[in-house]
Structure 1
Amino acid sequence: MQTLNLSLEDLRPFADLGTTVEETDDGLSVTRNGETLNIQKTANGYSFVDTLGAPRHFGSAAQVLLQSVFANLPQVARNQSILLSPQSTKRIKSGPVPVTLRMSEVFGGAAELPIADTPWKSLDQWLSAQQAAQAAESISLLLLDGPAGVGKTTIIRETALRRAENYDGSDPLILQIASRGRVLQNISDLIAFALQDLRSNLTVAQLVPLIRHGLIILAIDGFDELSDPNGFETAWSGLNALLANTRGSATFLLAGRETFVSTTTMQRQMKAVDPNRGDRLASLSIADPTPEGAKAWLLAQEGWSQELLSGRFVAPLFSQGSYALRPFFLDVIAQEPKSLAEDEPPTSDLLSYLVEVMIRREAEKFVDTLDPPDGRAAQVIYGAYVARFLEEVARDLAENQYEALSDDALDLIATVAASGVVPDDQIKAVVQRARTVVFLSNDIQAGHVRFAHEQLLQHFLAREALRSVGGGEIPRYIRRNFFGRESLDVFGHVARDRVDETKGFLAAVRHGLARPSRDRTHTNLAVLGVAAMCAAAPDGQSLSLEDLGISDLHFPFAAPPGITFRNVAISILHAAAADIREVNFKDGVSIATLELDRNSLLADPMPRPNILVWSGATITNPAEIEQQLNSPTSGENSQASPVWPDDLMELLGRIERYRPFWLRVEGDTGHERDQPGQKIVDHPRWPEVFEALKQLNLVTIRGLGASGSRSDFLHFRRDIRLAEHLEFHKRLVS
């Protein structure tokens, strides 16, 4: 890496208020903390006399800026090490979940990703090699993409911790910033939050020259969440301004979902990045571990056995493409092997299933610890208490826009949640036990706890929203916060598991939309209402949305009849794998960005977006958008895709969206089907489709029950797409 000269712009943010940085015959003069420093340019770098009268010599401008009189980066490194250590994965003796990493060069050159025993060691070594080869006056960017829960945040955090613990000034520190539903959605605000967490005296303005000189790498975690009513306009504008101001030896990491933090999107949106000026762009794709790798990792954890992983309903959980392969899921479930010991068929999505079995497990622990006289009845009470307690924790975090709670606040919430649920004489003991539930973990701030993962927070917040809004209350987080795609997806799955409660929620949404609002209430009720409509699919009910500006709109399941939009501006419509044919788009509907894939089924008529994101590609040309929307099967492999009759295509679409769940197909042991499952079984073509699925080994079937009472459950394979399976098509159509 070529070094940069020290400039007036570098020192101005560090100068005392009311003073200026001046050029001298042999360098620069700056007043810092009441002392005037004359920084001289020498043949070998820079020198100045410190406040104690001792001459100091430095080989580069960067070495000057990291000193205690300016940025004091050694102290920042010590603080960062203390801050991040409590969340380190070093507690896992067998190492981290074995995710799959793939490095790709987009332009400008990219070093080969080293093979190491942890992903963060690989990333750390790669960043060092990449920075060593960086051209002068350039920008280097790395995109980290992957689905939610795959470990992007963990990899960045562990790399930052590794740099902080080994800091000697030779490699830059990593400052990780993230947006988690806060109202403040611009990059400067997020940098200020991160510096505050570090107890650093640095300002946002002072960070700019540190990034420019390669002393700090800025990692923007969850860049896809920095949206606004104009899509990502504000976020892209802020990023471009920051890139332009830090051109030199700057390195940035951008992490997010693969759809919206893609290389094509980056090349189109980042006007400040120019390959002709030596800028570089590379992509690190993070994928789930293989089923074999995930199971091998679990077997290395305490309490796990081959017998447990081979259970009738446990084994199919760890198939290719399953949510159970997400590192988040594996990391949480690894701590509680007994939660899967009953080998039950998941009656909901895997996250909800995980939560329910672990709540039950926590209730058992309460019984074991407290030894109440009525053990089995008390277990039900304790389970209800754990759920209510975590819902209240999620609400408090969301309303205050925090990521962690102090122990005192947690005790107060635990006490309030116990009122009316737990017998009065047990409340004190229950409150003491509450802080140890597996869903919570220690925060980086001492004396604080947080949810073990963002997905768990979103799950319990969704439960709380259904309960409170359905009860006629509009919580503060509904009035103020931002609900992105991941939040809406989790909400939809939670609502799907609580159909009766969801219908009450929808009634409250319609009532709330009819009342005036000057905050985000209408916007949030609208997007949550759409997700709830898709989840419950209520017959004869409608949801009319008018005169709104919506940031993120997501359909977690097929849209039922009755959803109408009129005079609505939609920033991003997430319609990948969505069936929105029943949605009515009336006059005045505009869409800034439309996300589609080959599984999308669109409404007719469908408003034309300004930007179309199609299977990772970004299209802005209106003619190309029109062509793509008029021929949605023109994507990859379209020539090999067979043509299906409408009735079979409808059924296959329902099956595609039912892949995460187990479907009861025969028998009756008290396991009721949900509405989407019932519509599959009631479809007139289902018997022949079911027979073809069995013949071609495209489903997993498990039986449950004894003594003459039995139910058969099936699970659709995730590693193939039925609509493209030629033999399957031949059996049903040819």
Structure 2
Amino acid sequence: MHAQFSRTSSSFGTGRHMTGSNTLELALAPFADPATEVRVLSISQTTEMFSFVRKGGEFSGRAIHQDGEIWIEHKGQQKQRLASFLASADMANLDDLARVQGRIYDREQPISEWVAGPALVEQTQHENSLSALEEVAARMPDRTRIVVLDGPAGMGKTTLVKKLASQQARDFIERRRTSLMLIVSSRGRRLSRLNDAIAATLQDLRVGIFYPEVPILVKHGLLTLVIDGFDELVNQDGYDDAWYSLTELLDSIAGGGVLILSSRDTFFSDQEFILRAQRQDALWQGRIDFSFVHLQPWLRPQVREFFRLQGVPEEKAEVALDFFSDTRASALVRPFFAHRLAAEIRNSQNVEPDRLLFLITEGFLTREAELLLKDHPSGREVLRRFFQELALEMRQQEREVLDLDVIQFFLDAVLEEAGIPHEQRKQLVHRAGAVAFLDIPEGNRQRRGFPHQIIRDFFFSEYLLSALTTDWRRLEAALQLGVLGLDLADIIAEIAGSLRTPVERARIQALFSLAKSLPPADPAALNAASLGFALLRTRTTGDASRILADGLYLGNVSLVGAEVPLLELSGCSVGFLDLSDSNATNIQTKNTTVMRLRVSASTILGTEWHSIPSAVEYFDGDYGKGLSTNRQPDEIQSILSSLGADQIETKSKRHASAGEALLDALARRWVRRFYLWPDDLDDEPAFSDPLWPRLRSILEKHDRLVAKFQPTSGPRRELLHLKDPNSLLRRRHPDPAQQLVIDEIWTAAKSL
């Protein structure tokens, strides 16, 4: 006989491959009390005795190795497989977890009413994303399966995994399956604290499972671990850090189990991810399998039918559906936004198609102000400030929910600042948990959160823009919080673009100067620069001299569809720069490194563009469709030259006349917005150009301009839509008849 005596750490790294004689010890070690040891005594070639301390009591039994499996005898009970023993009431007690999950998800009405949309799995279209995910996430013998579930915000990723978790919990209780899902919400946390995120999830569930036990339960197929919001765990080092920070967890489960990474599709590049994963997989001897499930947007008929079922009048639905056709509005062709939007436009008097996100937020604010602060002249702005403060606090605490008493504190402070009397404040604070935009998370009535992250980001963006013009110290403090990614930058650009007053270029310059004055590792440096670039996508005013971005280290930068003002990038390092559909002739680069550049056929570069990226992503069509990645130097140089870099002659012909320049500028605006308001000269100054009436006649003559009138409480307002602005910008169309029309339009514009 030989007694094997050891102690295993309760961290994720409990051993790379749990095979051979140490399998039993490594499986039991996470369940032993801290600072205690698992004793394994071999009494024959196939039988071992084990003992350890769990919850203060002595735990012992016998393990039998038979037909490649380990069977456990314990407390005189019938022999059971090791996995069944780990799931039992004496160990992880997964029955308790299933019951708790069932209670939580049964309370969430949107889950029970949720309908699965389409999904793309390994280039194969599936009509039902729920069944597709369940099929792909099936466990593989002796391999760890990683499933990347991606899709835009609001597409239903979180709801999908909750629906599947609810279904599996019910099946587990009814003994129709032997595994459960554990959803770890990573929103607001960093990957270096993934252990904390798992521990916090288990603590919120109040079940008797601790985070050191999770990897072994995943490895044995008892838990499917879901990291919801994987892209939000990234720090300023970006994609590399996000992947490699998972390796410790993968070390513990390599060779078994399923891991689902839920993320925005803007974060994942399938090809890049697979290349990195395959390199890492070599360390695990090919024991990792990868699959991608892409959630797909609803189609126009599906959205129309949904609006009909929700009682949205046909004329309002058509305006929204027209807006949905705009690539810039694709964020709203999703279950979350469709639900919210239908509720808002069903009874609203006015529908502004290019302000649908604003309609959701402003409609909520107006309704709540009438209910809570009816007699206050600035009730809506008071509530706006309240939500901005909550968004800031969530950002600061790296949490997506706040305790109810914290929310009450902020409401009381904002109401007091607004001069609300004490007694009225007391009543309103008591109702803080019932204010619109604040939902009860997973049945926890003592906490509240925004219904979706994009709503939180909307109010945080408003906070930043307010501080930009009123309180620079508040702005600097807010820029220290988290990472200002592309999704948040998009919202900032949209909000800033809706303001009546253009952004002063001096403030953008001040942001770049602030970024340069701080250490590159300081989050405020990266965020100040990101904010500056977001504002470059909007209308600017002030000194026409060149804006200087000097010596900045940038992660992801988007200038999609922008008419970029005079800008010099000097000594900068940019990880990813998106210039799709942009007029970037005013950008000058000096000693600047761009790792990855995304451009479209309608992108215009200038003679002062001198940076040669390591990779260029190019597409010719709707945004992101048909994207090709080019890495060969000659291919990169060819693309850049075709867009005007160091060879401006081809592109300069587009701006040989004022008429061409006006058509180019308006077409870029229509790429970003389905409708424009010709009477809103503050929003679109180009309509005040004396050449506009003649250009309009040209577009109408060729049947490229569609006019609609939006009923309002006052005079009717005209909405204008340009058909297929992308083909106009690219000056080509596969249909010869349409190509002839495009040529005629540009010729006519040139003669204006």
State the TM-score bracket (shorter-chain normalisation): 0.7 to 0.9
Letter in 2 for 1:141: I
Report the CA distance between 1:43 and its aligned residue.
Answer: 3.9
Alignment of 1:536 onto 2:536: no
Structure 2 CA distance for partners of 1:361 and 1:426, relative to 1, 3 Å: same
Helix, strand or coil for the counterpart of 1:167?
helix
8 Å CA contact 2:676–2:721 kept in 1: the answer is no
Structure 2 CA distance for partners of 1:620 and 1:643, relative to 1, 3 Å: closer
Q: Give the stretch that moved more between structures: 550-559 or 644-653.
A: 644-653
Match of 2:682 in 1: 673
Match of 2:352 in 1: 345
Structure 2 CA distance for partners of 1:417 and 1:10, relative to 1, 3 Å: same
8 Å CA contact 2:667–2:725 kept in 1: the answer is no
Root-mean-square deviation (CA, aligned residues, Å) is 3.9
Match of 2:296 in 1: 287
Alignment of 1:333 onto 2:341: yes
Question: What is the CA–CA distance in structure 1 between the aligned matches of 2:122 and 2:430, rounded to whole Å?
Answer: 50
Letter in 2 for 1:440: L
8 Å CA contact 1:467–1:505 kept in 2: the answer is no
Once the two structures are superposed, the pairs formed by residues 305-320 of structure 1 within 5 Å of their partners are 305-306=313-314, 308-309=316-317, 313-314=319-320, 316-319=322-325
8 Å CA contact 1:62–1:213 kept in 2: the answer is yes
Question: What is the CA–CA distance in structure 1 between the aligned matches of 2:293 and 2:724, rounded to whole Å?
Answer: 24
Question: What is the CA–CA distance in structure 2 between the aligned matches of 1:85 and 1:710, rounded to whole Å?
Answer: 47
Letter in 2 for 1:35: E
Helix, strand or coil for the counterpart of 1:194?
helix
Letter in 2 for 1:163: Q
Structure 2 CA distance for partners of 1:247 and 1:672, relative to 1, 3 Å: same
| Counterpart selection for 1:298 from 291, 301, 307 | 307
Letter in 1 for 2:540: A
Letter in 2 for 1:570: V
Letter in 1 for 2:633: A
Helix, strand or coil for the counterpart of 1:334?
helix
Structure 2 CA distance for partners of 1:479 and 1:448, relative to 1, 3 Å: same
Report the CA distance between 1:566 and its aligned residue.
Answer: 3.0
8 Å CA contact 1:99–1:287 kept in 2: the answer is yes
Structure 2 CA distance for partners of 1:628 and 1:510, relative to 1, 3 Å: closer
8 Å CA contact 1:15–1:21 kept in 2: the answer is no
Report the CA distance between 1:487 and its aligned residue.
Answer: 0.9
Structure 2 CA distance for partners of 1:553 and 1:364, relative to 1, 3 Å: same
Match of 1:498 in 2: 499
For each residue in 1:277-317, what CA deviation from the matched residue of structure 2 results, as whole angstroms up to 9, or x when unmatched? 5854433222221222112223323x53435435xx45533
Report the CA distance between 1:613 and its aligned residue.
Answer: 4.6
Letter in 2 for 1:13: P
Structure 2 CA distance for partners of 1:232 and 1:318, relative to 1, 3 Å: closer
Match of 2:254 in 1: 247
Structure 2 CA distance for partners of 1:226 and 1:406, relative to 1, 3 Å: closer
| Counterpart selection for 2:64 from 30, 41, 64 | 41
8 Å CA contact 1:571–1:593 kept in 2: the answer is yes
Match of 1:638 in 2: none
Once the two structures are superposed, the pairs formed by residues 416-495 of structure 1 within 5 Å of their partners are 416-421=413-418, 423-424=420-421, 426-432=424-430, 435-444=433-442, 445-470=444-469, 471-474=471-474, 476-495=477-496
For each residue in 1:456-494, what CA deviation from the matched residue of structure 2 results, as whole angstroms up to 9, or x when unmatched? 100000011111243222354421311111111111111
Provide TM-score, normalisation by structure 2: 0.79
Match of 1:173 in 2: 180
Match of 1:522 in 2: 525
Helix, strand or coil for the counterpart of 1:534?
coil
Match of 1:375 in 2: none
Question: What is the CA–CA distance in structure 1 between the aligned matches of 2:698 and 2:362, rounded to whole Å?
Answer: 33
Helix, strand or coil for the counterpart of 1:481?
coil
Structure 2 CA distance for partners of 1:316 and 1:363, relative to 1, 3 Å: farther
Letter in 2 for 1:483: L
Match of 1:572 in 2: 576
For each residue in 1:291-350, what CA deviation from the matched residue of structure 2 results, as whole angstroms up to 9, or x when unmatched? 22112223323x53435435xx455334475444222211212333455x212435x543
Alignment of 1:61 onto 2:82: yes
Match of 1:362 in 2: 368
8 Å CA contact 2:509–2:547 kept in 1: the answer is no
| Counterpart selection for 1:71 from 75, 92, 101 | 92
Structure 2 CA distance for partners of 1:333 and 1:203, relative to 1, 3 Å: same
Question: What is the CA–CA distance in structure 1 between the aligned matches of 2:259 and 2:557, rounded to whole Å?
Answer: 29
Helix, strand or coil for the counterpart of 1:55?
coil
Match of 2:743 in 1: 730
Letter in 1 for 2:92: A
Letter in 1 for 2:79: H
Report the CA distance between 1:451 and its aligned residue.
Answer: 0.6
Number of paired residues?
A: 685
Structure 2 CA distance for partners of 1:705 and 1:453, relative to 1, 3 Å: closer
Structure 2 CA distance for partners of 1:508 and 1:358, relative to 1, 3 Å: farther
8 Å CA contact 2:561–2:668 kept in 1: the answer is no
In structure 2, stretches of 5+ residues that fail to align are 1-17, 619-623, 645-650, 748-752
Structure 2 CA distance for partners of 1:240 and 1:622, relative to 1, 3 Å: farther
| Counterpart selection for 1:608 from 592, 607, 612 | 612
Match of 2:214 in 1: 207
8 Å CA contact 1:46–1:61 kept in 2: the answer is yes
Question: What is the CA–CA distance in structure 2 between the aligned matches of 1:605 and 1:643, rounded to whole Å?
Answer: 14
8 Å CA contact 1:290–1:320 kept in 2: the answer is no
Question: What is the CA–CA distance in structure 1 between the aligned matches of 2:326 and 2:565, rounded to whole Å?
Answer: 33
Q: Give the stretch that moved more between structures: 136-145 or 515-524.
A: 515-524
Structure 2 CA distance for partners of 1:90 and 1:224, relative to 1, 3 Å: closer
Alignment of 1:99 onto 2:122: no
8 Å CA contact 2:564–2:582 kept in 1: the answer is no
Alignment of 1:9 onto 2:26: yes
| Counterpart selection for 1:263 from 270, 276, 279 | 270
Question: What is the CA–CA distance in structure 1 between the aligned matches of 2:611 and 2:627, rounded to whole Å?
Answer: 19
Structure 2 CA distance for partners of 1:529 and 1:105, relative to 1, 3 Å: closer
Structure with the larger RCO, 1 or 2 (CA within 8 Å, 6+ apart): 1
Match of 1:623 in 2: 633
Match of 1:585 in 2: 589
Alignment of 1:224 onto 2:231: yes
Match of 1:509 in 2: 511
Letter in 1 for 2:562: A
Report the CA distance between 1:270 and its aligned residue.
Answer: 0.4
Match of 1:553 in 2: 557
Letter in 2 for 1:254: L
Letter in 2 for 1:715: H
Q: Give the stretch that moved more between structures: 393-402 or 681-690.
A: 681-690
For each residue in 1:400-428, what CA deviation from the matched residue of structure 2 results, as whole angstroms up to 9, or x when unmatched? 11111222221221122223435426434
**Identical aligned residues as a percent:** 20
Structure 2 CA distance for partners of 1:429 and 1:68, relative to 1, 3 Å: same
Q: Give the stretch that moved more between structures: 413-422 or 401-410.
A: 413-422
Structure 2 CA distance for partners of 1:66 and 1:448, relative to 1, 3 Å: same
Structure 2 CA distance for partners of 1:533 and 1:259, relative to 1, 3 Å: closer
Helix, strand or coil for the counterpart of 2:366?
helix
8 Å CA contact 1:177–1:194 kept in 2: the answer is yes
Question: What is the CA–CA distance in structure 2 between the aligned matches of 1:173 and 1:527, rounded to whole Å?
Answer: 40
8 Å CA contact 1:699–1:717 kept in 2: the answer is yes
Structure 2 CA distance for partners of 1:278 and 1:515, relative to 1, 3 Å: closer
Report the CA distance between 1:520 and its aligned residue.
Answer: 1.7
Helix, strand or coil for the counterpart of 1:150?
coil
Structure 2 CA distance for partners of 1:72 and 1:550, relative to 1, 3 Å: farther
Structure 2 CA distance for partners of 1:556 and 1:69, relative to 1, 3 Å: farther
Structure 2 CA distance for partners of 1:719 and 1:259, relative to 1, 3 Å: farther
In structure 1, stretches of 5+ residues that fail to align are 107-111, 373-377, 635-641
Question: What is the CA–CA distance in structure 2 between the aligned matches of 1:590 and 1:396, rounded to whole Å?
Answer: 35
Letter in 1 for 2:496: A
